[in-house]
Chains A and B, each alone.
Chain A
Amino acid sequence: MVRRILSLRAGRLAAGILSAIALLAIFGPLLAPDNPLGSSSKTLAGPSGQHWLGTDYLGRDVFSRLLDGSRDSVVGAVEVALVALVVGVIPGLLSVYLGRVFEWTSLRLADTLISLPFLVFAVAVTALLGNGITQAMLVVGVLVSPVFFRVSRAATLAVARSQYVEVALISGASVNWIVRRHVWVKVLPAVAVALAQTMGVGFIVVSSLSFLGIGVQPPAPTWGGLLASDLNYLHYQPWAPVAPSVLIMATVWGCNLLADAIRDVSGETGRALINTRKAQANGLGAKRIPVEGRV
């Protein structure tokens, strides 16, 4: 799989971008030339030899803040995505196989999570579990998990009704076998696309939560946080949002490229499922999941 992904141009590009971002997340805080929190009198300065990307409204070095914030930003977004993945995909797969009770409960739970007021839930959970980035991202992850639940359930349902799964059943295959052998490959590409999208959402959410004092505490920098404050001073520094935007976009783009590559190497089935998911996202009836083969 990995080799097949890397044989595609999109796959190599994605790998390049994402490893650059990963390096940034690991070494960024160590590389920051200035104290990311140390303010100075030179507020809202333009780029210069000393401050490569200028300073912000408190006179802090923007370049240092970006580098320093990369770890929290990336870790936060990855955490959101991973939590959503685990909380969403596994029940999504199992809801097809574990019988009526599990199916009903998980479906209702997913509906509930979607309708839950996001901020109230976030505040409540952090009050309960303590305020930290991990807890905050746990909340976000759980809240976006219904997306993964639905995607993986839809993909699994389509495969579960296909004839080749029936053939395996007739040979006495267990649920475990069927999922590993037939279902997983078809679900993966759909999940990968959802994952890429969730990463993007993750960046924004990390920063908007830190506004509310949840998760990453200001003045600690994050990419999303930088972007938000830059937007407030757009009038003075119209170029300022470019740097954090580019980083966020690069990451999301890298994820999307990777998702595309995964989809492309996953064959026909994967492609068809993604397309129906896109159609659904465009508002074409949520129930129209094509059963394998009925075109």
Chain B
Amino acid sequence: MPADAVLQVTDLDVHYGKGRRRAQALDGVSLEVRRGETVGLIGETGSGKSTLARTILGLVPASAGRVVIDGEEVSGYRQRQWRTLRRRGVVQYVFQDPLRSLDPDVTIADSLIEPLLIRGVARGEALVRVRPLLERVRLDEELLARLPGELSGGQRQRVAVARALVTEPALVILDEPVSALDSANRVEVLEILKELRTSGVALVFISHDLGSVAGVADRVAVMYQGRLVETGTTREVITAPQHVYTRLLIGSAPTLRSGAASRADRDALRAALLTA
């Protein structure tokens, strides 16, 4: 394993359900994320993107394969070991819908410092540590006393991002962080993510839309039906896609000046994907 990898996933299999309802959600997925890099994880609904993220975080058990986080092999970890690892705050997660991932009865300030409080940091100190983060995600200090319901969607998502950063993680997994936002807020959050890259934290940016990832990611991994079908630098994947699904994905992304021929291309790719 290269010394600078924060995350290494090898041949990961995940199944949901038992007995006859058992269904495979991940099939031999391997992925590596190096320190400070941003990886876009793309794929259609149900392709297993969230499952991969949740397995990395130990929320879903893997049926086979290895996960190494920050040099620590976590496959087969017990609850207690997970808790110790998580308290170090090496990996954090940002959910798609910020309204649901913030407790509606807890103020923004308390939500933000929760990871620190869990670690045993004193409240006063935690509040001091949170201040500089607010600036990084462009949130006003006066929002701290509010409840999540009193914030706009974009503000909430920025709170969620700030909370993920509060433990100074080496890796943040963002699950569709901009899908629920309108375009102005989307750009704002993307800008913040772009700035984060310079601070050395590695990001895994999950999305079903290659377009919103293209501006932020260094590398892109494409998932299709539980398998990782393609990885490469963002430029490689976009300009020279290998897998049929990736080609369809790129052909499908709405662009401002798409050619008239692309419709026939898409039809051909769809047919190819069906027969594959």
Direct contact of A and B (CB under 8 A): yes
Name the contact of B87 in the complex, choosing from A167, A172, A181, A268 (C-beta under 8 A). Answer: A172
**Interface hits, A143-176 → B, CB 8 Å:** 162-164, 166-174
Residues of B within 8 A of A292 (CB): 100
B220 to nearest A CB, angstroms? 25
A163-B95 contact in complex given A170-B59, A171-B87, A177-B118, C-beta closer than 8 Å: yes
Is A171 a contact of B114 with CB atoms below 8 Å?
yes
A12 close to chain B: CB less than 8 A: no
Q: Is there contact, CB below 8 Å, between B149 and A293? A: no
B59 touches A166 (CB 8 A): yes
Report how far A174 CA is from B92 CA in the complex, Å. 17
Chain B nearest CB from A174 CB (Å) reads: 7
Task: State whether A269 touches B105 (Cβ < 8 A).
Answer: yes
The 10 closest A-B pairs by CB, nearest first: A172-B86, A172-B87, A171-B115, A164-B103, A163-B101, A293-B100, A163-B100, A267-B105, A172-B83, A173-B118
Q: How large is the interface on B (under 10, 10 to 19, 20 to 34, 35 or more residues)?
A: 20 to 34
Chain B proximity of A236: nearest CB distance (Å): 55
- Judged by a CB distance under 8 angstroms, whether A185 is at the interface is yes
* Nearest CB in chain A: distance from B27 CB, A: 25
Establish whether residues B104 and A167, one from each chain, have CB atoms under 8 Å apart when the complex forms. Answer: no
What residue of chain A has the Cβ atom nearest to residue B92's Cβ?
A170
User: What are 6 sample pairs from A and B whose C-beta atoms fall under 8 A apart?
Assistant: A162-B103, A168-B118, A171-B115, A181-B103, A182-B103, A269-B104
A71 at the interface (CB under 8 A from B): no
Chain B residue contacts of A267, Cβ below 8 A:
104-105, 147
Contact A266 B118 (CB under 8 A): no
What's the nearest-Cβ distance from chain B to residue A266, in Å? 7
**Among B101, B119, B149, which residue has its beta carbon within 8 angstroms of that of A167?**
B101
Q: Are B101 and A171 closer than 8 Å at their CB atoms?
A: no
Q: How large is the interface on A (under 10, 10 to 19, 20 to 34, 35 or more residues)?
A: 20 to 34
- The distance from the CB of A158 to the nearest CB of chain B, in whole angstroms, is 12
Name the distance in Å between A189's Cβ and chain B's nearest Cβ: 11
Q: Contacting A164 at CB < 8 Å: which of B57, B83, B101? A: B101
* Bound: A142/B119 CA distance, A: 39
When the two chains form their complex, are residues A268 and B149 in contact, meaning their CB atoms are under 8 A apart?
yes
Q: Which residues 83-102 of B have a CB within 8 angstroms of A?
A: 83-89, 91-93, 95, 97, 99-102
The answer on a CB contact under 8 Å between A171 and B118 is yes
A186 within 8 A of B: yes
| Cβ-defined partner of B114 (8 Å) among A162, A166, A168, A174 | A168
> Is the C-beta of B106 less than 8 angstroms from some C-beta in chain A?
yes
Docked CA distance A293–B149 (Å): 13
- Are B102 and A170 in contact, CB atoms less than 8 angstroms apart? no
Closest chain B residue to A168 by CB distance?
B114
Distance between Cα atoms of A172 and B77 in the complex (Å): 14
CA distance A14 to B83 in the complex (A): 43
Q: Point out which of A162, A163, A186 has the most chain B C-beta atoms below 10 A from its C-beta.
A: A163
Interface residues of A in 163-217 (CB under 8 A from B): 163-164, 166-174, 177, 181-182, 185-186
- The 8 Å CB contact of B86, one of A163, A164, A171, A266, is A171
> Closest residue to A174 on the B side, CB-wise?
B83
Contacts of A174 in B (CB 8 A): 83
Q: Are B100 and A170 in contact (CB under 8 A)?
A: no
- Which single residue of chain A is at the shortest CB-CB distance from B57? A170
Contact check, A167 vs B86: say whether CB atoms are below 8 A apart. Answer: no
Interface string of B52-87 (1 = CB under 8 A from A): 000001010000000000000000000000111111
- Chain A residues near B111: list those with CB within 8 A: 164
Contact A170 B86 (CB under 8 A): yes
Which residue of chain B has the shortest Cβ distance to A294 in the bound complex?
B100
- B118 contact set on A, CB distance < 8 A: 168, 171-173, 177
> Which residues of A are found within 8 Å of B149, using beta-carbon distances?
268
